[in-house]
């Protein structure tokens, strides 16, 4: 069987969750599958060594200035269709083979419509519905996304397979204090810190996170019992909130909240963090927090657990099924509840240590090898259904 894959998202210079999913899944597929041939479609040349050399993998580099998927990739499908086309992080081209598999990561546009610019929201709604209706089979990142596809879009449950993402093996606890200190210095972090990793955009609920952190700062100023290891007057002991990630859309409210709450010295914006620096950044954190209003999976939560960072996450969408009993959940619509959840970890080192242990155990259940194996099963099933 010849499997075609839209690999265009693997060449991004600053990959986010869906791009990292594409890259690691494709690498794991090549390592796993020794029976099928692959054609990877790119709109720009991949860097050398992005994928291992193999005589079973053929690159089709087909640049095009605009509408690459629906014009250029469609033309490629019309001329040289593969047996099955898999689209891991985008949308099916308008012209495509009868046998197709798509991954739908989330329906964030539906749950948080005001968190997206109108044009982007309209495109996401069209693309998700088109993908769901046109594909032979759908891969969903989580049971929460599968439920959304069934209840919101009316897709038959038997058409959807839940395949959890994996975690890169480089995400493991960093015990070298010098390495952690070097990464902290690189990103302007002096003392202990609470960490968030992800794009700065409204769906991530960062204004409420800043407000929750403000509550913690006020509690520390009043001498909150159990947290005397933090000291606002000592830069090496002053607790900071690190919001690591590139600016998305409508991020200005986050900066305004920091200024309004007079937290400019304690909220740090290091920008996009290099992939190689993330394990040390996770490992050095007092805790990792993801208060998103909606997540299809929440890959940074898994990365944080793999690095033994205690996790506080929102109690909505896919996050409870990913975190399990390894973290603390909080109501993302209530900054006081987010603050209480973080304080429970900060004030109790024994609880934090137990969370680090349980997070490591939880993260071991997720691997790219498993993700690739289950994805390949879906691709094979799609081919079999089309033949029947």
Q: What is the pLDDT of residue 387?
A: 41
3-state SS class at 97 = coil
Contact status, residue 41 vs residue 7, Cβ threshold 8 Å: yes
**Both tokens assigned to 109:** 């546009």
- What lies within 8 Å, CB to CB, of 145 at 6+ separation is 104, 105, 106, 107, 162, 296, 297, 318
Q: What is the pLDDT of residue 77?
A: 98
Distance (Å, rounded) from C-alpha 387 to C-alpha 92? 20
Distance (Å, rounded) from C-alpha 56 to C-alpha 163? 25
* Per-residue pLDDT of the chain in tens (388 residues, 90 and over written 9): 999 999 999 998 888 888 999 999 999 999 999 999 999 999 999 999 999 888 899 999 999 999 999 999 999 999 999 999 999 998 999 999 999 999 999 998 998 888 788 898 999 999 999 999 999 999 999 999 999 999 999 999 999 999 999 999 999 999 999 999 999 999 999 999 999 999 999 999 999 999 999 999 999 888 777 788 899 889 899 999 999 999 988 899 999 999 999 999 899 999 999 999 999 999 999 999 999 999 999 999 999 999 999 999 999 999 999 999 999 999 999 999 999 999 999 999 999 999 999 999 999 999 999 999 999 999 999 998 444 3
In the sheet that holds 240-244, the strands lie side by side as 267-271, 240-244, 193-197, 287-290, 311-314, 328-330
What angle, 0 to 180 degrees and rounded to 10, lies between the N-to-C axes of helices 206-221 and 252-260? 20
DSSP state of 247: B
Distance (Å, rounded) from C-alpha 251 to C-alpha 77? 38
3-state SS class at 313 = strand
Domains and CATH numbers, the chain: 2-166+367-387 (3.40.50.2000), 177-363 (3.40.50.2000)
Reading phi first (left if > 0) and then psi (alpha if -120 to 50, else beta), residue 226 is in: left
- What lies within 8 Å, CB to CB, of 84 at 6+ separation is 1, 2, 3, 4, 97, 99, 100, 101, 379, 382, 383, 386
């Amino acid at each position: 069987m010849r499997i075609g894959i839209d690999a265009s998202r693997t060449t991004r210079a600053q990959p986010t969750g869906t791009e990292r999913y594409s890259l690691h899944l494709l690498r794991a597929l090549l390592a796993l599958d020794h029976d099928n041939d692959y054609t990877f479609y790119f709109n720009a040349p991949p860097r050398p060594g992005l994928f291992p050399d193999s005589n079973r993998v053929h690159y089709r580099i087909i640049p095009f200035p605009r509408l690459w998927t629906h014009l250029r990739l469609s033309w490629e499908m019309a001329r040289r269709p593969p047996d099955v086309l898999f689209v891991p992080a985008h949308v099916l081209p308008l012209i495509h083979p009868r046998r197709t598999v798509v991954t739908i990561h989330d329906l964030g546009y539906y749950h948080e419509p005001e968190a997206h610019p109108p044009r982007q929201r309209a495109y996401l709604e069209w693309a998700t519905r088109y993908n769901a209706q046109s594909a032979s089979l759908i891969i969903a990142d989580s049971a929460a996304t599968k439920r959304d596809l069934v209840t919101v879009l009316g897709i038959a449950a038997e058409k959807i397979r839940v395949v959890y993402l994996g975690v890169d093996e480089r995400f493991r606890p960093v015990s070298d204090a010098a390495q952690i200190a070097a990464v902290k210095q690189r990103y302007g972090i002096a003392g202990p810190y609470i960490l968030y990793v992800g794009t700065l955009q409204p769906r991530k609920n960062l204004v409420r996170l800043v407000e929750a952190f403000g509550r913690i700062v006020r509690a520390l100023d009043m001498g909150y019992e159990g947290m005397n290891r933090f000291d606002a007057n000592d830069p090496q002991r002053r607790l900071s909130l690190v919001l690591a990630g590139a600016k998305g859309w409508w991020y200005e409210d986050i900066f305004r909240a920091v200024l309004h709450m007079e937290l400019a010295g304690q909220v740090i914006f290091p920008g996009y963090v290099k992939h190689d620096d993330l394990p040390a950044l996770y490992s050095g954190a007092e805790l990792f927090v993801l208060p998103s209003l909606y997540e299809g999976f929440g890959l940074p939560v898994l990365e944080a657990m793999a690095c033994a960072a205690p996790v506080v996450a929102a109690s909505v969408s896919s996050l409870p099924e990913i975190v399990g009993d390894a973290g603390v959940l909080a109501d993302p619509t209530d900054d006081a509840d987010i603050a209480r959840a973080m304080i429970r970890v900060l004030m109790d080192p024994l609880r934090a240590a137990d969370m680090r242990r349980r997070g490591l155990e939880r993260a071991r259940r997720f691997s790219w090898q498993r993700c690739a194996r289950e994805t390949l099963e879906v691709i094979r099933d799609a081919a079999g259904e089309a033949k029947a």
